[in-house]
A and B are shown apart, each in its own frame.
Chain A
C-alpha cells in the first residue's frame, strides 16, 4: 500500500522530467552507434581520404554475434556511466533539497522508501536497455545477418543483472553522501575497481559479476547457459540484496 504510493510518485516524477523519453532514446543511440559505424567504416575511410592512390582496404565485416556484442560493450562503458549519472541524485538529491526529510518525517518505513525508489529506477533502466537492444538487433539483422530473437533475450537477461548491480551500487553511495557529483564519481570508481579486480584475479574470481559481459559473449556463440553463468548470476543477486539492505540500514541509522 504505502510502497505503491512511493513507487507511483517516483514513476510520475520520472515522467514529468521526461526521463521516460530521453533515457530510452539515449540507450537506443548507444545500441545502434557501433553497428552502423562498423558497417560504414570502409566508406568513412574512403571519404576522409589520406590514403595513397590505389590502396586497397579490406575490413572484414563481423558476424552478427560480434556486432551485437559491440552494443553490449557500449553499454558497459557509456551505458554504465549514463546509469550512474541518472541514479546518483536518487537519494542524495532528495536529502539536499529536503524532500527526503519531508517524506521520512511521516510514518514511512525506510525499507519501503529505499525499495520503491530502487524498483522505479530499475524499471526505467531495464525498459531503456531492452528497447536499446531491440534497436541494435534490428540494425544487426539489417546489416550483418540473422540473429535469433531468443539469443538477444538471453543476452539481455544475463547482462541485465550487471546493470541492476550498478544501480544498487550507486544507490548505496547515494545514501552515504549528499553531493550528487561526488556520488557519481565514487560509484564509477567502484565499478572500475570491480572490473580491475576481476581481470587481475580472473582464475579465482570466476563468479565475479564483472564477468557477466564475457558470459554474454560465450552465450551468444554457444547458445547455452552453463553452470558458471548461473552461479555468477546468483552471486550478483546476493550482491544486489546486500547492497539494498545496507542502504536501508545506513539510512535508518543516520540522521538526515
Chain B
C-alpha cells in the first residue's frame, strides 16, 4: 500500500487535489452564507461534497440564485 503511494507521481496529482479542495471549501462557505438556493440546500451540500470537481462547479452555475 505504502509502496503504491510512493509510486504515484505527486507533481502531477497534487495540483488537482488542491484545486478540488479549494473548490469544495469555497462552495461550502458560499452555501452556508447564502439565503436561498435553487432546489433544497441539503441536496447541494451532498452534491458539493461527493461529486468530484464537477459538484462545486455545478453549484456555482446552477445552484446560486441571483
Contact = CB atoms under 8 A, between A and B. Distances in A.
Asked if A and B bind, the verdict is: yes
Nearest to B23: A25
Contacts of B60: 17-19, 22
B22 A21 contact: yes
Contact of A25 (B22, B61, B64, B66): B22
B12 A22 contact: no
B19 A85 contact: no
Contacts of B11: 142
Interface string B1-38: 00000000001100110010011001100100000000
Interface stretch (A26-34, A59-67, A113-121): A26-34
B57 interface: yes
A28 B57 CA distance: 13
B22 A28 contact: no
Chain B contact-residue range equals 10 to 19
Interface in A3-55: 17-19, 21-22, 25-26, 28-29, 32, 36
A25 B12 contact: no
Contacts of B61: 85
Interface centre among A19, A26, A89, A143, by most chain B C-beta atoms within 10 angstroms, is A26
A18 B26 contact: yes
Interface residues of A, number: 20
B19 A28 contact: yes
Contacts of B57: 22, 26
A28 B11 CA distance: 15
Contacts of B30: 17-18
A139 interface: yes
Interface centre among A22, A29, A139, by most chain B C-beta atoms within 10 angstroms, is A22
Contacts of A89: 66
Contacts of A17: 30, 60, 64
Nearest to A21: B26
A93 interface: yes
Interface of A: 17-19, 21-22, 25-26, 28-29, 32, 36, 85, 89, 93, 97, 135, 138-139, 142-143
Interface of B: 11-12, 15-16, 19, 22-23, 26-27, 30, 53, 56-57, 60-61, 64, 66
